[in-house]
Structure 1
Amino acid sequence: MEMTTILKPEAVRVIASASSKKRLFHELGEIANAAYGLDPGVVVAALLDRENLGPTGVGHGVALPHARVPSINEVRGVFVLLEKPVSFDSVDRQPVDIAFALFAPEEAGVEHLKALARVSRTLRNEAICQKLRANDDAATLYTILTEDDNAKAA
């Protein structure tokens, strides 16, 4: 699955500060609303419900919150770089400064898993995370996240 299929440029942001995981989820909901027209309240509730099953902080300052959302017909993503990391109950207990949220249709199966695997593979790459952390321009962040797609197309 291509990153450009999952993520729109408008869904990439730098956030100066989010005081908590819950506040970050609200920010993700607002961005999902602006980029994809998703109801922010529904998005936040879905993220919180999923997080109650277990934390989605995967370590090394990265979180991959994800949820199934009604009224969406394809997997969509929101990427945020936090200027000030937040506590996220991550597996390594480190605060999170990179979050890539995925939203999938309620009936999505394989596509949701493929998207999650693609995002996870990208953000496990230490060089990519270093590039992301070294930039504070949303357009540049989008380019970094979609570089692989562009290289394959060339």
Structure 2
Amino acid sequence: MDIVELLAEDGVVLRTGVSSKRQALNALATLAAEQFGVEEARTVEALLEREALGSTGLGGGVAVPHARIEGLERVCGLFIRLDQPVAWAAVDERPVDLIFGLFAPPRDGAEHLRALAAVSRFLRSADRREQLRTAGSADEILALLVDAATVRAA
């Protein structure tokens, strides 16, 4: 699975003005509502419920919040780069500035897990994380995601 296939058309956002994990999850839910037509309040609730089970902060300044949401036909993703990292209770206690949100239909199991694995593998690379952090625009970030998918396919 290529993570670029998961992304919404305008699914890469550079975000300012977020100063907490909750605000980041709210921003993610707002974007999901805009891109996928899901209910924003229910999406925030689902993301918070998942975080209550354990932090989705993977370390290295990365988080992959995810939730099952009614109204989706397939697994979808959004990428947000924050201008300032926020505390996330990540495994390494490092604040998060790279967020890849995943949303799946309620009864989707295997595809959701494959998407989580693909995103985690992609963001595991310190070089890729640095490229994502230094990219000058959402289009540059999208190009990095497309290039990574192209390299794996070759």
Q: Sort the TM-score into its range (normalised by shorter chain).
A: over 0.9
Q: Say which is worse superposed, 37-46 or 48-57, in terms of deviation.
A: 37-46
C-alpha change, 1:122 and 1:34, in structure 2 (3 Å) is same
CA distance in 2, matches of 1:4, 1:95: 25
Structure 1 equivalent of residue 102 of structure 2: 102
User: SS where residue 92 of structure 1 aligns?
Assistant: coil
State the percentage of identical aligned residues. 40
| Structure 1 length-normalised TM | 0.95
CA distance in 2, matches of 1:23, 1:9: 23
Structure 2 equivalent of residue 76 of structure 1: 76
Residues 19-66 of structure 1 show CA distances to partners (whole Å, capped at 9, x for unaligned) of 211110110011111221121111111000000000000111000101
* Counterpart AA for 2:124: R
| Structure 2 length-normalised TM | 0.95
CA distance in 2, matches of 1:105, 1:23: 24
C-alpha change, 1:121 and 1:12, in structure 2 (3 Å) is same
Residues 81-137 of structure 1 show CA distances to partners (whole Å, capped at 9, x for unaligned) of 011100001111110010101001110111000000000000001111110000131
Give 5+ residue unaligned stretches, structure 2. Answer: none
Alignment of 1:5-154 (within 5 A): 5-152=5-152
Q: What is the root-mean-square deviation in Å for CA atoms of aligned residues?
A: 1.3
User: SS where residue 18 of structure 1 aligns?
Assistant: coil
Q: Flag as ranges the 4+ runs of structure 1 deviating above 4 A.
A: none
User: SS where residue 100 of structure 2 aligns?
Assistant: strand
Q: Say which is worse superposed, 139-148 or 18-27, in terms of deviation.
A: 139-148
CA contact (8 A) 1:58 1:90 kept: yes
CA distance in 1, matches of 2:101, 2:119: 9
Q: Size of the alignment, in residue pairs?
A: 154
Give 5+ residue unaligned stretches, structure 1. Answer: none
CA distance in 2, matches of 1:152, 1:61: 24
